[in-house]
Amino acid sequence: MSSAPRIDIDVKAFWQDPYPTLAQLRKEAPIAFVPQLNSTLLCSRDDIFVSEKQIDIFSSHQPEGLMNKLMGHNMMRKDGEAHLAERNVFFPAVSPRAVKSNWIAQFQAHADRIIDNLPSSGAVDFVQAFALPFSAECLKSITGLTNMRFEDMNAWSQGMIDGIANYTGDAAVEARCHVATAGIDAAIDDMLPVLRRTPDKSLLGVMAASGMPMESVRANIKLAISGGQNEPRDAIAGATWALLAHPEQLALIQSGERPWLQAFEEYARWISPIGMSPRRITKPWTIRDIAFEPEERVFLMFGSANRDEKHFAAPDRFDLARDTSKSVAFGAGPHFCAGAWASRAMVADVALPTVFARLKNLRLIAEPPVRIVGWAFRGLLNLPLEWDRVAASARTTH
């Protein structure tokens, strides 16, 4: 165990809203051992930014980690050449060029189809009505698992992220994770013969054609699903909520003073959909006066880094005028999210502009209240909205 001060937290309160606790830790103990999580938390943006690049010390390779045990050994839990070899196979399917040439038109088609099927006016839970199915349909296209239902894509993604964040050892949560991974394996088995007959540019198609071992293909598809569903889903719903709750910020976009991308980037800073990434200490190490021991588990608290007062003035405020370049919402080192460009396109190029263009007089409903939870992964559980009418699709061409 590190020599960091021992700080107890209320796990339930932390899950409901981690930001007050993280602010206190940044002020009083930016490196702290939290017994309830059995980990040392790094809460300062500067410590996280430096440490994430020191892969020889803060290793992503965690043989006993929950992700390895539950989802398989994917590239996110490998370092150095092992990580790079798999990333080089994976990345061409989600590179900026691939997003522009292969996926953005499909994203737009998914968005228009889902909105076409919404009520012409009235009230819905926007998470369930749009953010969830849109994210899932886009992810079906990217992964190549077009044989899945969007409901299964979402449920299995949630089952896995709940499983890998199950640091309190809840047996029911682990069981749901196993159901999710088994379902994904079955979907992969169904699609492989199809993709071998008719190769495409999806992740499964590209990885299978590369000769990558099947255990790595399966693990990396599960990785893509675990983050590729919840992060865009939560960012779409969350940014929509943030803009409607801050009409002066929405006005900056609608007047052309700020782009839709800024709404996504600022939301991902303000409410980090992925709030933490674990690391394993490989050798004795010291940060300032805090000593770490080999095999110790460390949590890089991205959600805390993105509200670090040293880099973000009034960090608890949603502000489209701020500089978000110091945000680590997608990571900061060699494990920078490979799906970042696809996520930005889904949210900022397609979902947000399409939703606000087509749902006229879009507005929040007071009841039921919006619920937002989580600390390792954080997002809205619901978003009650209504509008006056659905405008015809412009069928945007990208």
For 247-266, the pLDDT digits (tens) are 999 999 999 999 999 999 99
d(CA 262, CA 275): 19
Q: What is the pLDDT of residue 398?
A: 47
Q: What is the pLDDT of residue 335?
A: 75
d(CA 295, CA 71): 21
pLDDT (tens place) for every residue of the chain, 398 residues total: 889 999 999 999 999 999 999 999 999 999 999 999 999 999 999 999 999 999 999 998 888 788 888 898 888 888 889 889 989 998 999 999 999 999 999 999 999 999 999 998 778 999 999 999 999 999 999 999 999 999 999 999 999 989 988 888 899 999 999 999 999 999 999 999 999 899 899 999 999 999 999 999 999 999 999 888 989 999 999 999 999 999 999 999 999 999 999 999 999 999 999 999 999 999 999 998 999 999 999 999 999 999 999 999 999 999 999 999 999 998 887 777 878 899 999 999 999 999 999 999 999 999 899 999 999 989 999 999 999 999 998 754 44
Please name which of 268, 263, 244, 258 lies closest in space to residue 359, comparing C-alpha atoms.
244
Please answer whether residues 75 and 91 qualify as being in contact, where contact means their C-beta atoms are separated by less than 8 angstroms: no
Backbone angles phi, psi at 386, to 5 degrees: -145, 165
Contacts of 51 (CB under 8 A, 6+ apart): 42, 57, 58, 279, 287, 298, 300
**What is the secondary structure of 360-374 as a DSSP string?**
ET-EE-SSSPP-EE-
Q: What is the pLDDT of residue 76?
A: 81
Helix (H) / strand (E) element for 282: namely none
288 CB neighbour count, 10 Å cutoff: 9
Please name each of the domains of the chain with its CATH number: 11-390 (1.10.630.10)
Residue linked to tokens 């938390």: 41
**Rounded to 5 degrees, what angle do the CA atoms 18, 3, 378 make?**
15
Q: What is the pLDDT of residue 397?
A: 45
Pairing type for strands 290-292 and 277-281 reads unpaired
Please answer whether residues 186 and 105 qualify as being in contact, where contact means their C-beta atoms are separated by less than 8 angstroms: no
Does the pTM surpass 0.85? The reply is yes
Q: Which residues pair with 290 in a beta bridge?
A: 287
Q: What does the buried/exposed string (b/e) look like for 79-115 if buried means 16 or more CB atoms within 10 Å of the residue's CB? A: beeebeebbebbbebbeeebbeebbbeebbbbbbebb
Q: What is the pLDDT of residue 386?
A: 96
| Helix, strand or coil, per DSSP, at residue 253 | helix
Q: Which residues pair with 298 in a beta bridge?
A: 40, 279
380 CB neighbour count, 10 Å cutoff: 24
Contacts of 268 (CB under 8 A, 6+ apart): 235, 306, 327, 329, 330
Structure tokens at 113: 């189809």
Omega into 334 within 30° of 0, i.e. cis?
no
Q: What is the pLDDT of residue 120?
A: 86
Q: What is the pLDDT of residue 67?
A: 87
d(CA 281, CA 293): 7
d(CA 211, CA 208): 6
d(CA 27, CA 83): 35
d(CA 228, CA 214): 20
Q: What is the pLDDT of residue 395?
A: 55
